[in-house]
Amino acid sequence: MKKLTAVFLSAFLMTMPVKAEQAGIDFTKKLADDIIVNVLSANISDEEKLKVFHDRFKEDLDIQTIGKRVTGTYWKKATPKEQEEFLAAFLDFTTKSWADKFNLYTGQKINFTGIQAAKSGQFFVSSAVEGNPPAEVLWRIKKSGDSYKITDIVIEGVSMVTSYRNEYVAFLYKNGGKLSSLTEELKRKSASFSFTKK
């Protein structure tokens, strides 16, 4: 009986990571499908696309983890209020600058190819965007309670988080290291985007 229990228990434990991995792929696939259907291919104005995309990014992006990483050692120097203001400006600016690239999408399909473990207890979900050669897109995800959050997107080897970090650390280095100066710059740049209304 003991032997049988052990067999069942090990079989159960072996399926756990598989289930977690499949759930991670399902989450990423659903997110990509939703963005393609409800944003990229949707018959709505650019302004409405931005709103849907912003809400989706806010819900599914781990902005706290990303914000901390992209500001490097300057994060710790800032007050909690400055950090909070930065995160709001960063989310707003990121969604607008991504939305500005929506017209580069020309209907390519995304095929999800697998998942592998990453540092900090996270995962990379691999996908390929149709084309010859296909473009590789990796979605870095983190399990957060029962759901998942995106912590990075790597397109053809270029990590969104690493790129923002290299840019923001360079900006802060040149501008006296005050996080508030970066927040102001992001707000100023955000205002330069314009999206057509219906």
Partner 1 sequence: MKKNGLIFLTCASLFVMGCAIKPTDPIALQAYEEANDPLEPFNRAMFETNMLLDTAILKPVAKGYRAITPVFVRQGVSNFFDNLKQPGYFVNSLLQGEGQTAFDISRRFLANTLLGLGGLFDVASDMNIPVHTNDFGETLAVWGWEKSEPYIVWPLLGPSNPRDTIGAGFNMALSTAELSVIDEPMVRYGIWALDTVQTREKSIEFIESLEKGTTDLYATVRSMYRQNREKKINKATGTLENQGVSAYDFDFDDEE
Lay out the sheet containing 147-155: strands in order across: 110-117, 123-129, 135-144, 147-155, 158-159
Amino acid 33 reads: D
Work out which of 83, 88, 113, 177 binds partner 1, going by CB under 8 A: 177
**Cross-strand bridge partners of residue 150:** 61, 141
Q: Which of these segments, 19-27, 31-39, 43-51, 66-74, binds partner 1 (CB under 8 A)?
A: 66-74
By the rule CB under 8 A, 80 interacts with partner 1: no
* Cα dihedral across residues 112, 117, 118, 120: positive or negative: positive
Q: Three-state secondary structure along 49-111?
A: HHHHHHHHHHHHECHHHHHHHHCCCHHHHCCHHHHHHHHHHHHHHHHHHHHCCHHHCCCCCEE
Q: Using CB under 8 A as the criterion, what x/- string covers residues 1-40 for binding partner 1? A: ----------------------------------------
By the rule CB under 8 A, 122 interacts with partner 1: yes
State the DSSP code for 178: -
For residue 182, the minimal CB distance to partner 1 (Å) is 7
CA distance 111 to 127: 5
For residue 32, the minimal CB distance to partner 1 (Å) is 18
Query: What angle is formed at CA 25 by the lines to CA 19 and CA 30, rounded to 5 degrees?
Result: 120
By the rule CB under 8 A, 185 interacts with partner 1: yes
Work out which of 36, 38, 51, 193 binds partner 1, going by CB under 8 A: 193
By the rule CB under 8 A, 68 interacts with partner 1: yes
Size of the site for partner 1 (CB under 8 A): 53
Residues in contact with partner 1 by the rule CB under 8 A: 65, 68-69, 72-77, 93, 97-98, 100-101, 103-104, 116, 118-120, 122, 124, 132-133, 138, 140, 151-152, 154, 156-159, 161-163, 165-174, 177, 182, 185-186, 189, 192-193
